[in-house]
Amino acid sequence: MTAYEQAKKMYESIGVDTELAIEKLSKIKLSIQCWQGDDVKGFLFQNELTGGIQVTGSYPNRARNVLELRSDLEFALSLIPGSHKVNLHAIYADTKEKVDLTQLEPKHFESWVKWAKTNGLGLDFNPTCFAHPKSTSGFTLSSNQKDIQDFWIDHVKHSRKIGAYFSEALNQKAVVNLWIPDGFKDNPYDRVTPRLRLKQALDEIYQEKHDVVDTLESKLFGIGTEAYTVGSHEFYLTYAAQNKLGFCLDSGHFHPTEYVADKIASMASYDLPVLLHVSRPMRWDSDHVVIMDDEVERIAQVIIRSHLEEKIHIGFDYFDASISRVAAWVIGARSFQAALLKALLEPTKNLQTIENEGHFTERLYAQEMLKTMPFGLVYDEFLRRHHKPSQHEWFKLLKAYEKKLER
C-alpha cells in the first residue's frame, strides 16, 4: 500500500474523500504576480520606486527584460500544479516605442497575450500609479492639481481597456485592480476633501463599462503615508458596494491584529466580487513571501468552508530580492495550494452539524485532530498527478536552472 493509499484510508475514516479534494484543488486558479521577478522595475521607465514601495536584497539573476521575465515565469509555472494566470502592471508593456502611461494601448501587450495563449494562461492587469514623475507629490487620483489628476484618470481608463482586451483574447475575464499611494505622512487638517476628489475621479473612470472585473485595493498605511491614506478600507468598500464594483483584500494591508479571513467571511454575505492578494506582513506591509502560516490557513479555511473558491479571485502580491525570485513564486503558490488542500480535507458537513447542535467540546476535539492528519501525503499525490516534482525534488531543479543563467 502506497503512502497516499494509507492517507486516503485515514481520511475515509473521518468521512473525507481525498479524490474529490484533489479534483477541486486542480480547478482553483492562482494569479502569479510578474513583479516578483524583476523587483517591480518594469520595462517602460526603470524609475526609482515611489509610493511607499520598497524592494530589499541583492540576490542575483533579476530579470532585466521581457524575455528573461517570461523565461523565469515559465520555469516557476512548470513547478506549480494547475492552470493559472499571470498578473501584469502597466509598466510591463512590451514595446520599443517610447510611450507614457496615458498612451498605452492593447497593442503594447500583444506579445503578452500571444505568450499567455502559448502557455495556457490568463492575464490580469493593474494601472501603475507610482514610480512616475507625476506621482512624486504623493497624490494621483486625489490630487488637487487638475492636470495631475486628469493624467491618472486617463491612465486608469486606458488600463481598463487593456484588461478588456485580455478578457476577449484569452476567453477568461481579467481582473483590473486599482491601488493608489495617495496620502499624508503627518496628520492632515482636512480628511474629507481628498476623498471627495478621489470619489469624483472614480466616478469618471468607471462610467464606461468594460468586460473586466474591476476591483479597488485599500491600505491602512504605507511608508510616507503613515498618518492618512486616502483610499482607506472604509472608503473603497463603501464605494464598491454603492457602485457594484469588486473589492481587493490584501493580507498585508491591515493592522496586525486584524484577520483578513474574517473580512472575507463578512464580504461573502454580499454579492460583491472579491480579489484576494495573498501576502505576508512582518510588523507592517512588508510583502514577505507567502508561507503556510496561521493566517494563510485561516484564509484558505474560510474560502473552502464557505464554498467561495469559484467566487474569489486569488492572487499574490509580494516581492523579495533577498532570496531566489523564482523560488519565491514557487514557495508562495505551493504553500497556498497546500493550505487550500488542507481545508478541502476537512469533514465540513459533519463539523457544521456538530457546531449547529452546540457540541463545542467535540468541535474543539475534531479541529485539533485534523491538525495531525497526513494532508502532506495527499498534496504529494496532487503533485504526482500533475506531473510536477515533489516537495523534496523541485529545489534541485531550481538550482540547476539558476546555475545556467548568465545575468
The C-alpha cell at 109 is: 501587450
Question: DSSP character for 280?
Answer: B
What number of CA atoms fall less than 13 Å from residue 245's CA on the CB side?
A: 26
Q: How far apart are CA 142 and CA 231, in angstroms?
A: 9
387 given a catalytic annotation: no
285 given a catalytic annotation: yes
352 band by pLDDT with thresholds 50, 70 and 90 = very high
Active-site annotation holder among 134, 277, 313, 342: 277
Query: CATH assignment of 29-344?
Result: 3.20.20.150
35 given a catalytic annotation: no
pLDDT tens column, 220-265:
988 889 999 999 999 999 999 999 999 999 999 998 889 999 999 9
The string of DSSP codes covering 78-89 is TTS-S--EEEEE
pLDDT tens column, 13-30:
999 999 999 999 999 999
85 band by pLDDT with thresholds 50, 70 and 90 = very high
Backbone angles phi, psi at 288, to 5 degrees: -70, 160
Q: How far apart are CA 273 and CA 247, in angstroms?
A: 6
Residue 344 in contact with residue 21, Cβ under 8 Å? Answer: yes
269 band by pLDDT with thresholds 50, 70 and 90 = confident
pLDDT tens column, 197-222:
999 999 999 999 999 999 999 999 88
Which stretches of 27-107 are DSSP H helices? Answer: 66-77
147 given a catalytic annotation: no
Residue 308 in contact with residue 301, Cβ under 8 Å? Answer: no
Provide the Cα torsion 304, 308, 314, 317; round to 10°: -80
179 given a catalytic annotation: yes
Q: Which residues contact 373 (CB under 8 A, 6 or more apart)?
A: 7, 10, 11, 14, 345
